[in-house]
Amino acid sequence: MKTKIILILIAGYLLMMGCSNDPIAEGVTLKMKAVTNQSTINGRTSASDLVFNRILLGVRELEFETSEEDDHENSNDDIDGENEDGEDDNEEIEFKGSFVVDLINGTSTPEFGLAEVQPGLYEEIEIELGSILPNNNSILIAFTYTPAGGDAVQVEFSTQKEIEFEIENEKTGFQIDANVINSVLVIIDLDDLFSGIDLSTASIDADGIIRINDASNTKISNQILSSFEEACNAGEDNDYDDEIDGD
C-alpha cells in the first residue's frame, strides 16, 4: 500500500511539472546605442577626438518591413501620394510609442519591451523620430570639441524636425525566427555621423557654446542630418555583447 501511494505521488509530481512548463518564448527585443572606432561599448569618444556627453533620440516608431510590404506601400504611395496607406500589419514587427533613447548607455525610457514576432525575412528597418525630447527636440547631442591649438569648446546639436530613415541589409536582410527571442541591435556610428563636419567654421554664442540647430549653424545641421541614415546599421546581437553578430 505504501509503495502504491508513493507511485501515485511521483506520478502527480511529474504531471504537475509537465503542466507548469511555460511555452517557448518568442518575439523581438531591441536595443539602440552609439559606437565609435575607439569604443564599441559607450561611444563616448570619436576618432576625431570629439567627446560625447549626451546623445538622445526621440523615437516614435520603429518597424521591420518585408520586401513585399515595402513594394506594396510604394505602389500605394504612387497612387495616393500618402506615406501611411497600403500597410499590412501581418507583415510588420512594430515598436510604437514615445521612447527617449539614450545612445551612450544603450537604454530606452520606457523600455522597448518585447514585440510580437511574424517570422520571416525582413528587408529593412524604418525608424521615425519625433519631437518628444525637452524643448520639442527629436535629437539632442552634447559633446566637446577641441580646435587645433585651442581649448575645449562645448557643442550642442539639436533639431525639432520629425525625421524618418531606413536601415537596409542588402546582403542578407533581417531574418526573424519563430519560437525564439530575436535580439536586434541598432547602432549609430558617431565617426560616420560627424565625418566631414568642420566645426571650426561654426559660429559661437556669447556664452562660448556652439549651438547647431534648426536656426543656428544650419548648414552644419543639415550636413549632420544628411549623414544620419548612412551612420546607422542593424543586425542580430544574440550573444548580447553590444556588437552585431558576424561583424
Is 1 inside any structural domain? no
Is 190 inside any structural domain? yes
Is 241 inside any structural domain? no
Q: What's the rounded mean pLDDT across residues 193-211?
A: 95
Tens-place pLDDT, residues 38-83: 765 566 777 667 899 999 999 999 999 987 665 555 554 554 555 5
Quickly state the pLDDT bin for 37 (edges 50, 70, 90).
confident
Q: Are 127 and 153 spatial neighbours (Cβ–Cβ below 8 Å)?
A: no
Grid cell digits, residue 29:
527585443
| Residues of the domain holding 40 | 24-236
Is 18 inside any structural domain? no
Tens-place pLDDT, residues 84-124: 544 444 557 999 999 999 999 999 999 999 998 889 999 99
- Structurally, the chain folds into a number of domains equal to 1
Is 15 inside any structural domain? no
User: pTM score, two decimals?
Assistant: 0.80
Grid cell digits, residue 142:
552634447
Distance CA 210, CA 244 (A): 34
Distance CA 183, CA 114 (A): 10
Q: Are 77 and 87 spatial neighbours (Cβ–Cβ below 8 Å)?
A: no
Distance CA 27, CA 46 (A): 34
Is 10 inside any structural domain? no
Distance CA 130, CA 218 (A): 19
Is 14 inside any structural domain? no
Q: Residue 43: its pLDDT value, please?
A: 67
Give the residue among 237, 231, 246, 160 at the shortest CA–CA distance from 197: 231
Q: Are 25 and 181 spatial neighbours (Cβ–Cβ below 8 Å)?
A: yes
The whole-chain average pLDDT of the chain stands at: 83
Is 178 inside any structural domain? yes
Tens-place pLDDT, residues 130-184: 999 999 999 999 999 998 888 999 999 999 999 999 998 767 788 899 999 999 9
